[in-house]
Amino acid sequence: MTYGIKRTHLASEITPELDGSQVTLLGWLHEKRDLGGLRFLVIRDRSGLVQAIAAKKEVSRELWDEISSFKRESVLAVKGIAKASPQAPGGAEVRIREVTLISPSEDPPIDVVGKTNADLDTRLDNRIVDLRRTEPQAIFRIQSTVSSAIRSYLRENGFIEIFTPKIIATATEGGASLFSVFYYDRIAYLSQSPQLYKEQLTSAFERVFEIAPAFRAEESDTQRHLSEITMVDAEAAFMDYQDIMSLLDGLVERVVKTVNKENQKELKVLGREEVEVKLPIPRITYDEAVSVLERKGVEHEKDADFGTVQLKALSEELSDFYFITDWPTAARPFYAKPLEGRPERCESFDLMYGWIELASGATRINDGKLLKERMSSQGLNPDSFKTHLKWFNYGMPPHAGFGLGLARLLMVLTGKDNIREVVMFPRDKRRLEP
Ligand code: AMO
């Protein structure tokens, strides 16, 4: 109920079969047109658009005048009669009998109709209005499908959803890129990852996952980095990195299939082809990737993480989804488990799509003594991880897991190359509002 006016139908429910029925729509004035003796109001609600028409001959003088005074994006209740009309989009329209202005709008700051030519910054400054446009609508409806597909897939595989603190006392991914906050009389940090909690929790629940914000004080201003991201984290006892990659095979397949099934309309709006995934997702080792780079004559620093140049070169050979595995231990966080008999490489992976990194993961060290050594060799002070290390004395199972950037996956599915398009309220070095 709104203002005592009850909606009888959504826009998408106005079909030719309703011809002659009385209907009440609630929604936003998307567009209006004046055509001599006819005035068109296009009404938008969560289901889409429908055209309502006032004929000068059929409505009162006051209503006829009032209709032309409504500004776009005002919230209206429209009562009228559904009418089959082959010319109307959807095959039916509403002949207006009564219109109530529920909430007026000023002239919208950006155009909601069709393809706006406003630049991304202007759109983000006016995000709430921008989100009413069909493209962002499509993107965030796909996001909702993705998060729900991930939840059901992981739950079906025995994972329980957890929620861990985001205000924390120590870094998890090494000292760099932490945001500090005033926490009463001391300094605390915003969590970069639920890494340590999820690892600890495998000793209580075996399989856990979380979809939650993570904070990274990124110096680099790129199309794929933000300061606040939504991270999908999972961790499982009695699995290793190969098991986790197989789990991700299934997860990616589930997400892609669900989006292709449930979001055909949205993919069409975005002009995006269905993404395909062939299982198993290919796995190549870091050393194999290095050979590819050498063959292509692309330089790279020994045992270092790959930069954009290297990843772009690799993606020419490995399009779509692939894993790069067995990374140099020195280039990964302290908790990644070194390979048996080859400690300079570790049981770790990145899930890639083209040259974009979507996720990373590893088998973790579950021996407290070794973990301490690895902390020290990475320049971290084991004392500041006391509360984490403690649990390694109480039956810590072998475990492995992954962290996946939700927005990165959404970039792939929607075909957007700037992460800011696929995050409702992006945060970066320059942007803290809206
Ligand atoms: P990592 O630091 O590689 O791993 O992060 C995992 C994934 O999160 C995404 N990501 C980002 N996306 C946008 N902007 C950023 N600033 C940003 N930083 C990271 C990427 C990346 O692959 N604890 C480990 C995961 C694990 O081992 O379980 C971790 O956080 O898609």
Quick: pLDDT tens for 9-50. 999 999 999 999 999 999 999 999 999 899 999 999 999 999
Least confident range of 22-31, 82-91, 149-158, 277-286: 82-91
The question of whether 44 is a catalytic residue gets the answer: no
- Distance in Å, CA 278 to ligand 1 centroid: 24
| Residue nearest ligand 1's atom 22 by CA | 359
Query: 385, 351 in Cβ contact below 8 A?
Result: no
Residue ranges in 103-240 assigned as alpha helix (H): 120-125, 127-130, 134-156, 195-205
pTM here? 0.95
Rounded to whole angstroms, how far apart are CA atoms 389 and 199? 11
Whether omega before 434 lies within 30 degrees of 0, making that bond cis, reads yes
C-beta of 194 in contact with ligand 1 (< 6 A): no
Query: 296, 312 in Cβ contact below 8 A?
Result: no
- Tell me what pLDDT residue 376 has: 93
- Distance in Å, CA 252 to ligand 1 centroid: 16
Rounded to whole angstroms, how far apart are CA atoms 96 and 11? 14
Pocket test for ligand 1, best of 251, 252, 357, 427 (most atoms within 8 A of CB): 357
Q: What single letter denotes the amino acid at residue 297? A: G
178: enclosing H helix or E strand: none
Rounded to whole angstroms, how far apart are CA atoms 150 and 244? 14
Atom of ligand 1 nearest to the CA of 419: 13
| Residue nearest ligand 1's atom 25 by CA | 403
Rounded to whole angstroms, how far apart are CA atoms 1 and 11? 17
Q: Which residue has the higher pLDDT, 1 or 367?
A: 367
- Distance in Å, CA 144 to ligand 1 centroid: 20
Query: 345, 361 in Cβ contact below 8 A?
Result: no
- Tell me what pLDDT residue 3 has: 65
- Tell me what pLDDT residue 316 has: 94
- pLDDT band for position 174 (50/70/90)? low
72 pLDDT above the threshold of 90: yes
- Tell me what pLDDT residue 367 has: 94
- Distance in Å, CA 54 to ligand 1 centroid: 54
Compute the average pLDDT of residues 277-283.
96
Atom of ligand 1 nearest to the CA of 409: 31
Burial class from Cβ neighbours inside 10 Å (0-12, 13-18, 19+) for residue 395 reads: exposed
C-beta of 305 in contact with ligand 1 (< 6 A): no
> Residue 155 — φ and ψ, nearest 5°?
-65, -40
Which of 141, 82, 83, 75 is CA-nearest to residue 108? 75
- Tell me what pLDDT residue 326 has: 98
- Give the distance, in angstroms, between the CA of residue 422 and the centroid of all CA atoms in the same chain: 6
Rounded to whole angstroms, how far apart are CA atoms 204 and 71? 57
- Distance in Å, CA 303 to ligand 1 centroid: 20
Rounded to whole angstroms, how far apart are CA atoms 406 and 251? 13
Of 224, 272, 345, 427, catalytic:
224
The question of whether 95 is a catalytic residue gets the answer: no
The question of whether 225 is a catalytic residue gets the answer: yes
For tokens 């120590």, the residue is 170
Atom of ligand 1 nearest to the CA of 361: 27
Query: 360, 402 in Cβ contact below 8 A?
Result: yes
- Give the distance, in angstroms, between the CA of residue 352 and the centroid of all CA atoms in the same chain: 16
Rounded to whole angstroms, how far apart are CA atoms 97 and 405? 50
- Give the distance, in angstroms, between the CA of residue 180 and the centroid of all CA atoms in the same chain: 25
The question of whether 58 is a catalytic residue gets the answer: no
The question of whether 218 is a catalytic residue gets the answer: yes
Which of 30, 32, 27 is CA-nearest to residue 46? 27
Compute the average pLDDT of residues 238-250.
98
Burial class from Cβ neighbours inside 10 Å (0-12, 13-18, 19+) for residue 294 reads: exposed
Atom of ligand 1 nearest to the CA of 177: 16
- Tell me what pLDDT residue 176 has: 57
Rounded to whole angstroms, how far apart are CA atoms 268 and 137? 12
C-beta of 327 in contact with ligand 1 (< 6 A): no
Of 72, 408, 420, 427, catalytic:
408
C-beta of 141 in contact with ligand 1 (< 6 A): no
C-beta of 166 in contact with ligand 1 (< 6 A): no
Query: 300, 290 in Cβ contact below 8 A?
Result: yes
- Tell me what pLDDT residue 169 has: 87
